[in-house]
Amino acid sequence: MLTEKEKLDKLTYLGIELNQVRDLDILMERVLECARSFVNADAGSIYIRNKDKDTLQFTYTQNDTLQERLPAGEKLIYTTFTLPINRESMSGYVATTGQLLNIPNVYAIEPTAPYHFGKQFDEESGYQSRSVITVPLKTRREDILGILQIINAQDENKKIIPFTDSDEKLMLHFASTAAVALERAQMTRSILLRMIRMSEMRDPMETGAHVNRVGGYSTEIYEQWAKRHNLPKEELDRNRDSLRMAAMLHDVGKIAISDVILKKPGRLNGKEFETMKQHTFLGARLFLNARSDFDEAAFDVALNHHERWDGCGYPGHIDVETGKAMAGFISPEGKPMGKKGIEIPIFGRIVALADVYDALSSKRVYKEAWDEQDVLKTIEKEAGAQFDPELIEIFFSRLNVLRSIQNRYRDEP
């Protein structure tokens, strides 16, 4: 059990981390760890309210007893399940009423109580829940974003004991920490969605449908790539959302390009095209202080989506802050040297392909849409030149899925 000093240290660190760690997953795991260690609890979970508002999603969980039954280093994996928000389950009751629920023994809940304990989890996992405290994740505006549930408080001898009144106050504290973190992450998300909408409005031909398609193609290609490279499923799950939003923002730097160039009906001249090329690093600058997975993905994509596998793309090896070539990467013509092959981050290689596939298939101010035959011929021809040849293989093996994404997000007439 923790000493008072250790408890104080933990509380202080959690406060600092809330301000420093932008990765929501890491923070939520820390909240669970801290909450559990204060009451010496064996297990705990965080459920997050889904967008539809009617269900809770079992999102984070820790369980020492079940963990000990696993081989060292292996993670607890639960099929994520959802729970309707109504008064029948304990979590649903807490999410509905906003009231904390402190139950000494979940197998002895009075039959008159509106909620009951769902034995299903215990039955499937072979776990024995007993004392359970469930607290709402409430924002200052009283929105309920989810619930925190801590299970099986223990005394020094690991005997399971009920949660006390003072435990209730502590758990409310941890819940409010989790709520602040969640609210902030959800706010970041809504700011991103607004940015995406802005970059759509700016460019008449790059409609919402276009950014949705590029996001869709990119995640489909990435999933297949991740399988081939044996990426752990958790890493794939973590990256997929970041990549989708990053891909949707690939051209966000065009916001800084003048209308005269952006909306020019004909071909750009050399000077205009040089200006246009800046949309890569101008976009990347928005994510320069990369701290979350998303920031990093958005940076990589904005910067690298016009590099070519053969090294002849742009902007090449540059310093994003100045837009100038990095020392040692200046070509004989005095330009930055292009990044080549796997020097180009994978997300950049993927969005490069998704973007061109979509640009060729669509009408632009400066061009008509191409026939699919011509699009596919061009893409095939560019394997190993413009594009990563492995991604071209994946592209053709998943063509039916890509077509269905194309149909799902059609341009409005």
Which residues contribute to the site for Fe ion (CB under 5 A)?
A: 251, 355
CA–chain centroid gap for 139, Å, is: 22
CB contact at 8 A, 213 and 401: no
Cβ closest to ligand SIN, residue 294 vs residue 314:
294
Q: Is 95 in the site for ligand SIN (CB under 6 A)?
A: no
Q: Cβ of residue 324: shortest distance to ligand C2E, in angstroms?
A: 20
Q: Are 349 and 388 contacting, i.e. CB atoms less than 8 angstroms apart?
A: yes
Q: Which is nearer to ligand C2E, 137 or 276 (CB)?
A: 276
Q: Which does residue 188 bind out of Fe ion, ligand C2E, ligand SIN, none, counting CB within 5 to 8 angstroms by kind?
A: ligand SIN
Structural tokens at position 115: 């909620």
Which of residues 355 and 388 has its CB atom nearest to Fe ion in the complex?
355
Nearest distance from C-beta of residue 22 to ligand SIN, angstroms? 5
Q: How far apart are CA 135 and CA 144, in angstroms?
A: 10
- Residues in the interface with ligand SIN (CB under 6 A) total 16
Judge contact between 160 and 133, C-beta under 8 A: no
Nearer to ligand C2E, 132 or 375 (CB): 375
Nearer to ligand SIN by Cβ, of 235 and 374: the residue is: 235
- Four-residue CA torsion sign, 227, 231, 235, 241: negative
C-beta of residue 300 within 8 angstroms of C-beta of residue 246: yes
Cis geometry, peptide bond prior to residue 315 (ω within 30 degrees of 0): yes
Q: How far apart are CA 80 and CA 340, in angstroms?
A: 40
**Contact letters for ligand SIN, residues 118-137 (x by CB under 6 A):** x-xx------------x---
- Give me the DSSP letters along 305-347: TT--TTS--SS-SB-TTT-PBPTT-B-TTSSBPPP-GGGS-HH
268: partner contacted, choices Fe ion, ligand SIN, ligand C2E, none (Cβ within 5-8 A by kind)? ligand C2E
Residue 278 contact partner, candidates Fe ion, ligand SIN, ligand C2E, none, CB within 5 to 8 A by sort of partner:
none
Residues that bind ligand C2E (CB under 6 A): 264, 267-268, 276, 306, 355-356, 359-360, 364-367
Q: What tokens does 42 get?
A: 């064996």
To 5 degrees, how large is the angle CA 313–CA 318–CA 322?
130
Please state the closest distance from residue 276 (CB atom) to ligand C2E, in A: 4
Q: In the complex, what is the shortest distance from the CB of residue 345 to ligand C2E, in angstroms, rounded to a whole number?
A: 18
The residue among 167 and 251 lying less far from Fe ion, judged by its C-beta, is 251
Q: 255: which DSSP letter?
A: G
| Interface of this chain with ligand SIN, residues 176 to 205, rule: CB under 6 A | 185, 188
Q: Which of 14, 24, 320, 383 binds ligand SIN (CB under 6 A)?
A: 24
- Residue 74 has phi, psi (to 5 degrees) of -85, 145
Residue ranges in contact with ligand SIN by CB under 6 A: 22-24, 89-91, 117-118, 120-121, 134, 149, 185, 188, 292, 294
